[in-house]
Chain A
Amino acid sequence: MGHIKHLIIRYVDGELSAEQEKRVRTHLAACPACRRALDQQTRVSSDMKLTLRYLPAPGPARVDAWWRAIRQPTPRRRTVVFVPVLMSLALLLLSMIGPHQQAYARPASTTVAAAAPALNTTLYPPSPAGNDASPSDAGVMPAEGGAESRLTEAPTPAPERRSPDYAEPIVSPVPPPVQTTKTR
């Protein structure tokens, strides 16, 4: 018979059948290694039982307090009541804010859109060849004009496709690159 270490815990805890128990006893009498294992397992079992079965029980006051907490209405129920109310409030607020936002948004964008051609004309006068494409249409953006071009683009519809007779502006609106020196 080989070692019976796999049976020792059950043996210690008295869970083997009478026949298995007899076999284990016979083996233990002849095997010092398994006797050592038995000694180890007995000590661990006894320590574990002693510890876990005598863990301090909660006092009656705490047990009563937990009971009251358990039988209280759960927060989930309250959530069920409040969620629709909160959602209705949110919708109401949105419906009140929405028109105002549009009212503010339209004049602002209109103003910028109206001002944009004048601004562009000032900055980028029409070329002698009569090309009235704005620099943004030409695909060439001024290095520092990003903010204005974004503003002008926002309210306008999608840019038209370039016509075949499209010409590049003669005078490039791109300012010469500024030389910068890296400082450490």
Chain B
Amino acid sequence: MSGGADDRNTNDLIEAALSGEERAYEALYHRFVGALYRLAYGVLLDRQDAEEVVQDSFAYAFRALKRFDPAQSAFKTWLYTITMSRCRNKRRRKWLPIVRLADVAERLAGDAPTPESTVMRQTTREIVLKALGRLSPKLREAVVLRYFEDLTYREIGEVLGCPSKTAESRVRLAHDALYDLLDGQRDLLVEHVWSTD
């Protein structure tokens, strides 16, 4: 597999894909797969579910590619909209479990071993993901879209199907809730870092 190292811009790739070039599909996939996975994982906090959502989203996007209109939105935003819709379906089918710190740590450890020097970052990540798991789905979606790739409020509104003011308000509410959730965890974080030394 080539790995999708293709310098063409996204719209050229889309045109090439629509004309039947398989390599263009592959290049599009490789260009966005990482972002889609992180988005799905950030919202669902479950690796297996995120993997399924990514595959389903790409399969749908490639089938519906001729319906994508570059004048309406960026391809990235269109893909995120598809992904978010599938995340919601996934969430509807099963209640999200309460995320336990140990579970998150285990999942992250399963993805990539963490060097000791990054224990602080690792622990922060565990705590933040745990806090994210306690937000309502709407707030979580908004804040994940905001921070995993610096989407503007207009883009967040586009993906979530709401006005940009609503998106901004959800991010602000998520911020307040996260601050409360994280504030209580900061002492634990410091304790954890000291105890691992």
Contact = CB atoms under 8 A, between A and B. Distances in A.
Interface stretch (A42-50, A80-88, A137-145): A42-50
Contacts of A64: 1
Given A6-B172, A48-B143, A69-B55, A56 B179 contact: no
B157 interface: no
A56 B111 contact: yes
Range for the number of chain A residues in contact with chain B: 20 to 34
Given A58-B34, A71-B25, A50 B124 contact: yes
A44 B179 contact: yes
Interface string B136-177: 000000011011111010000000000000001001100100
Interface of B: 1, 3, 22, 25-26, 29-30, 33-34, 37-38, 41-42, 51, 54-55, 58-59, 62-63, 108, 111-112, 121, 124-125, 127-129, 132, 143-144, 146-150, 152, 168, 171-172, 175, 178-179, 182
Contacts, number: 90
Interface residues of B, dominant DSSP: helix
A178 interface: no
A75 B20 CA distance: 21
Interface residues of A, dominant DSSP: helix
Contacts of B143: 48
Contacts of B58: 66, 70
Contacts of A15: 152
